[in-house]
Amino acid sequence: MPESAVKNLPSYETDKDFTVSWGGSDKGSGIYSYTVLVSENDSAYYPWIMDTHDTSAVFSGTFGSTYKFYTVATDSACNVEAVPGIYDAMTRLSGTGIETFG
């Protein structure tokens, strides 16, 4: 079965456009594609990128929002990775690198 994950992100991003990277492995037929899902401010996850062969892309977010990402890989034999129980990576888009309150 394929396994994949989004690579760690910094706790805070200061640019609304930032790179998200992911990767995976499959001992049998190899990874064929990835679907990357995202949640904004703990909302329901939705597909950001579907069935891609790429392993990174630029995400455009909204300042003040928190984003959580995970991947689901499909191998060349059409086996699909189970949806993980928790996100792989999380970041907050602060714009300054400093968390602000009130």
Residue 41 has pLDDT above 80, yes or no: yes
Residue 97 has pLDDT above 80, yes or no: no
Task: Give the 3-state secondary structure of residue 18.
Answer: strand
Q: How far apart are CA 93 and CA 11, in angstroms?
A: 9
- What is the pTM (predicted TM-score) of this model? 0.90
| Domain 3-93: assigned CATH number | 2.60.40.10
Domain boundaries, the chain: 3-93
**Mean pLDDT over residues 26-45, rounded?**
96
